[in-house]
Amino acid sequence: MHRKVPKFVETHLDEIIERWKQLMKEDHGDRFFQIMPDEVVEKTSHEFAGLIVSNLTEDGQMYESKLHDFSERIVRLGWSITLVMKAIENFSDTVYEMLWEAEVINDSNVAEYFEVLNGWIRPLREEVVEAYSNTWERTVSLQKIALQELSASLIPVVDKVSVMPLVGTIDTERAKLIMENLLEGVVRHRSEVVLLDITGVPVVDTMVAHHIIQAADAVRLVGARCMLVGIRPEIAQTIVALGIDLNEFTTTSTLQRGMQEALALTNRQIVEVDE
Amino acid sequence: MAYRSSVDIHTEWDIVAARQLGRNEAKKIGFGTVDQARITTAISELARNIYLYAGTGKIEIERLNEKGIFGIAIIASDEGPGIADVRKVMEDGFSTSGGLGAGMPGVKRLMDDFRIDTEKGKGTTITAIKWLR
Ligand SMILES: Nc1ncnc2c1ncn2[C@@H]1O[C@H](COP(=O)(O)OP(=O)(O)OP(=O)(O)O)[C@@H](O)[C@H]1O
Ligand SMILES: [Mg+2]
């Protein structure tokens, strides 16, 4: 059995692939083959079959490293894991059916066949799941880093005036980071006025407002003042509806206006000079 | 059955998912930017309350059509501790978590209709509706 199955797969490869494709079409409609270019399907399924053959003929270690490579490549193709699992299942179903038809397996030796089957399908499934979850974990941690890099740095613009542009959703973790960067930056740059720009914050709810108010209080404690700029009209309306009191803030709709105010607060202004 | 979609709230990021769903639905129904902001903010408040006070729950968004008037309903439900004194939580500034206490009264003002069904120890369901004019 250990020799017969790979031999069979090897010699009937074209037919197996044909029937497997048919099965995939029944399950997923033409959509399946639309998202995958023909030559990719052809190449991948041949490779897959080759892998099975090699599992059954070569030693374990060789199979494992090939399997690993194959799984990684599958993941990179960007297909959904459900689809790949279905493809594996359909492939083994097809082989099974054809082995019956060819009378390679029968009632008396079918148990033996399942043993062989287990040897290649289970590790394959596990490897594919592992490869997917590794990719996801990697993606998530990279995105976390990317998000942290996006998170709020305080930019000194002119002497005594700094700007912190906030972009994206503010969760508890980011709120903490904003506070830290803000205070550390104010001290380091000797800022007297800090402009918090919320143009890029999609939703200002009570939690975000609360964090902003706390940040402003903390900034006051280190001897500077905080201005809230970039308040879009719809955000201004929701803030009012929420009943949030921003009276202690100087607020402006644009960063530009805020900058003028900040300069005024530090007794300066922008003037045009003639040549 | 009216068209309904939902997001389960387990983590802080689910709040963002619920908001996104609400914004997309609001857009489809035809709400303008200001109402979209009102609706997403209301969802944000209700979802965060679930996350903070009940731990888990869900936000459902339903498209409404009553005699040709379109609207959107936010249904926030949980099986958390429930709210003992409904009148109190509707007061501006009441908070048991050191928050601003602006969420609940705020949602009421952001939306057109607002209803709380709650039972101590059983959970809370809040329904908030905005009509398209
Ligand atoms: N789903 C809920 N289950 C149980 N208690 C709730 C629920 N939602 C709100 N509460 C209670 O109602 C109080 C008021 O809620 P509200 O959202 O108005 O303010 P908050 O969450 O405390 O602060 P914030 O201004 O940040 O929203 C909460 O402090 C909490 O005790
Ligand atoms: Mg709240």
Q: Which residues line ligand 1 (CB under 6 A)?
A: A 206-207, 210; B 45, 49-50, 53-54, 78, 80-81, 83, 89, 94-97, 99-104, 124
Based on the domain organization, do A33 and A88 belong to the same domain? yes
Based on the domain organization, do A186 and A225 belong to the same domain? yes
- pLDDT tens per residue, range A56-88: 666 667 777 888 888 888 888 777 888 888 888
Contact A242 B106 (CB under 8 A): yes
- pLDDT tens per residue, range A7-36: 888 888 888 888 888 888 887 766 666 666
- The tokens describing A185, both together, are 């930056």
Q: Over its length of 133 residues, how does chain B's per-residue pLDDT go in tens digits?
A: 578 999 999 999 999 999 999 999 999 999 999 999 999 999 999 999 999 999 999 999 999 999 999 999 999 999 999 999 999 999 999 999 999 999 999 999 999 999 999 999 999 999 999 999 8
Amino acid at A116: V
Based on the domain organization, do A126 and A227 belong to the same domain? no
Is residue A98 within 8 Å of residue A7, measured between CB atoms? no
Note the pTM of the prediction, 2 decimals: 0.80
Report the candidate in A230, A227, A229, A166 with the shortest Cα–Cα distance to residue A194.
A227
Find the CATH number of the domain harbouring A84.
1.10.490.10
Number of domains in chain A: 2
> Which residues in chain A are contacts of B40 at CB distance < 8 A?
202-203
Based on the domain organization, do A183 and A64 belong to the same domain? no
From A244's Cα to the closest Cα of chain B, the distance in A is 7
A216 burial (CB, 10 Å; 0-12 / 13-18 / 19+) is buried
Based on the domain organization, do A143 and A9 belong to the same domain? yes
> Which residues in chain A are contacts of B48 at CB distance < 8 A?
205, 207
Helix (H, G, I), strand (E, B) or coil at B88: helix
**How many angstroms separate the CA atoms of A116 and A121, rounded?**
9
Contact B38 A238 (CB under 8 A): yes
Count of beta carbons in the 10 Å neighbourhood of residue A239: 24
- At A205 the pLDDT is 96
From A16's Cα to the closest Cα of chain B, the distance in A is 42
Q: Ligand 1 pocket check: which of B45, B59, B95, B108 to mutate, most ligand atoms within 8 Å of Cβ?
A: B95
Is the residue at A78 inside a domain?
yes
- At A91 the pLDDT is 86
Count of beta carbons in the 10 Å neighbourhood of residue B77: 20
Looking at chain B, which residue has its C-alpha nearest residue A238? B38
Based on the domain organization, do A141 and A176 belong to the same domain? no
**How many angstroms separate the CA atoms of A212 and A76, rounded?**
41
Contact B34 A237 (CB under 8 A): yes
Based on the domain organization, do A41 and A98 belong to the same domain? yes
* Of A202, A203, A244, Cβ closest to residue B102: A244
- Fold (topology level) of B4-131: Heat Shock Protein 90 (3.30.565)
Based on the domain organization, do A121 and A10 belong to the same domain? yes
- At A48 the pLDDT is 74
Is the residue at A34 inside a domain?
yes
Domain end position, chosen among A148, A172, A206: A148
Domain end position, chosen among A129, A148, A167: A148
Based on the domain organization, do A180 and A95 belong to the same domain? no
Domain end position, chosen among A117, A148, A179: A148
For chain A, 275 residues long, the average pLDDT of each consecutive 10-residue run is 79 86 78 70 77 68 80 82 86 89 88 83 86 90 80 89 92 90 94 95 95 94 94 95 88 93 93 87
Taking the CA atoms of A24, A25, A26 and A31 in sequence, report the sign of the dihedral they define. Answer: positive
Is the residue at A37 inside a domain?
yes
Is the residue at A275 inside a domain?
no
From B14's Cα to the closest Cα of chain A, the distance in A is 11
Based on the domain organization, do A230 and A122 belong to the same domain? no
**How many angstroms separate the CA atoms of A39 and A25, rounded?**
16
Find the CATH number of the domain harbouring A244.
3.30.750.24
Phi then psi dihedrals of residue B114, to 5 deg: -150, 125
Q: Ligand 1 pocket check: which of B89, B92, B108, B110 to mutate, most ligand atoms within 8 Å of Cβ?
A: B89
**How many angstroms separate the CA atoms of A96 and A104, rounded?**
10
Report the candidate in B90, B60, B75, B77 with the shortest Cα–Cα distance to residue B118.
B77
Residue A130: domain span: 4-148
Query: Burial letters for A55-73: b for 16+ Cβ neighbours within 10 Å, e otherwise?
Result: bbeeeeeebeebbeebbee
Size of interface A-B (CB pairs under 8 A): 66
Q: Which one-letter DSSP state was computed for residue B128?
A: E
**How many angstroms separate the CA atoms of A165 and A198, rounded?**
6
Based on the domain organization, do A107 and A183 belong to the same domain? no
Is the residue at A270 inside a domain?
no
Based on the domain organization, do A8 and A144 belong to the same domain? yes
- The tokens describing A99, both together, are 């082995």
